[in-house]
Amino acid sequence: MEDLAKLEQEFQARIDRGEIIEPKDWMPERYRKQLIRMISQHAHSEVVGMLPEGNWISRAPSLRRKKVLLAKVQDEAGHGLYLYCAAETLGISRDEMIDLLHQGKAKYSSIFNYPSLTWADMGTIGWFVDGAAIVNQTMLAKGSYGPYARAMIRICKEESFHKKQGYEIVANMAKGTPAQRKMVQDAVNRWWWPSLMMFGPPDNNSPNSAELLKWKVKKNTNDELRQRFVNMTVKQAQAVKLTLPDPDLKYNEETGNWDYGQIDWDEFWNVVKGNGPMNRERMEAHRKAHDDGAWVREAARAYHAKKSGRNAA
Ligand code: BYC
C-alpha cells in the first residue's frame, strides 16, 4: 500500500515536471482507464464522423469537390486508426473497444448524431466541427501521454486542411446566389449550437475534468476551449457576412471575450444518452459495416497466421 502511494507520488511528480508518459512506464490504473475511455471515444468519433460526410460524396457538386471530400473522409478513417493504435498501447484491443461501442458502453461525439441535410452542411461541418476539433486537439497534443499526444500532432495538421476546405465552401456559397446564401445560413443555424456542445458539459458539471487536468491529459477546461472557439469563429462569420444564431452573442470589453447565450444542456444529454436525431441510424450503419467487414478481418488474421508460421519455420 505504501509502495503504491509512493509510486503515485513519483508519477505525479513526473507529470508536474512536464515529463511524457510512455506505454511501458508505471502509471496509476485510473490514469490508464481514463485514457482508454477518452482515446477510444475519440477513435469512435473519427470513424462515426465519416458517416454524415460520406453521405454527400456521391452528390458533391463538382469533381474537385468530390475528390476533396473523399480525401477528407478517408483522413478521418486514418485518424481512427492512429487513435485505436494509441489506445492499444494501454492494454485494450480494438475488438474490445468496438464491442464496448456496440454495447453502448463507450461513447462517441454528440455532434455526429445530427443529420447532414444539404451540401452547405459539408462546408459548415468543416468550418465548425473540424474547427472545434482543432481547438480541442491542439491542447491534447501537449498532453502527458506520449502516443496520444503524438497522434494529435498529425491529426491536427490534417484537420487544418479540413477546416480550410469547409470554410472555402462556406465562403463561396455566402457570396453566391440568394438561394446558396440561404442554404449556407440555414446550415450555420443548425450546426452552431451542437458545435458548442462538442466541448463537453460546463466546468461545474464535468466529472472527469479535475482528474484529467491534474494528470495533464487535458490542459484546459471545457469552457475555456469553448470560449476560444467562439472568439475565433465570430470573426470568421463576420468575414463572410453570415450570422451566428445567438441573439446574446456580444463582445465583452472587460474580458476581451465574446459572451454567448445559454446552451441547451438538456438537448446535449439527450443526444449523449442515445436519443439524438441520428443516434440509432449511426449505430446501425456502424454495426452493418463491422459485420460486412468480418471476412476482411478473418482473411487478414489467416494471412498473418500463415506468414508468422512461415517465418517461424
Ligand atoms: N459527446 O467529464 P466530462 C473529430 C461525455 S472527433 C459525447 O467533461 P471529459 C472529427 C463524457 O465522455 C471529435 N459525450 O468528460 C471527426 C463523459 O461521459 P463518460 C471527438 C460527451 O472527458 C470527424 C461525460 O460526458 N473529440 O474531431 O473530461 C470529422 C462528462 O463529460 C461529450 C474527442 O473525442 C460529447 N461532445 O471531457 C470531423 C476529443 N462531451 O465518458 C471532426 C477527446 C462530454 O464519463 N476527448 N461527453 O461516460 C475530449 O477532449 C474530452 O473527452 C471531452 C469531454 C472534451 C469530449
Please state the φ and ψ torsions of residue 252, each to the nearest 5 degrees. -105, 110
Q: What is the pLDDT of residue 309?
A: 82
Q: What is the pLDDT of residue 104?
A: 95
Cα dihedral: 253, 257, 261, 262 (round 10) = -130
pTM, whole model, 2 decimals? 0.96
- Report the separation in Å between the CA atom of 199 and the middle of ligand 1, taken as the mean of its atom positions: 7
Tell the residue nearest (CA) to atom 31 of ligand 1: 206
- Report the separation in Å between the CA atom of 281 and the middle of ligand 1, taken as the mean of its atom positions: 20
| Mean pLDDT for the stretch of residues 158-186 | 97
Please state the φ and ψ torsions of residue 283, each to the nearest 5 degrees. -70, -35
Tell the residue nearest (CA) to atom 40 of ligand 1: 200
Tell the residue nearest (CA) to atom 18 of ligand 1: 107
- Report the separation in Å between the CA atom of 109 and the middle of ligand 1, taken as the mean of its atom positions: 6
Q: Which three cell numbers stand for residue 275?
A: 436519443
| Mean pLDDT for the stretch of residues 169-185 | 98
| Mean pLDDT for the stretch of residues 47-66 | 96
87 touches ligand 1 (CB under 6 Å): no
- Report the separation in Å between the CA atom of 286 and the middle of ligand 1, taken as the mean of its atom positions: 19
235-287 pLDDT per residue, tens: 999 999 999 999 999 999 999 999 999 999 999 999 999 999 999 999 999 99
Cα dihedral: 215, 95, 200, 214 (round 10) = -10
Question: Which of 30, 105, 109, 229 gets mutated to test ligand 1 (max ligand atoms within 8 A of its CB)?
Answer: 109
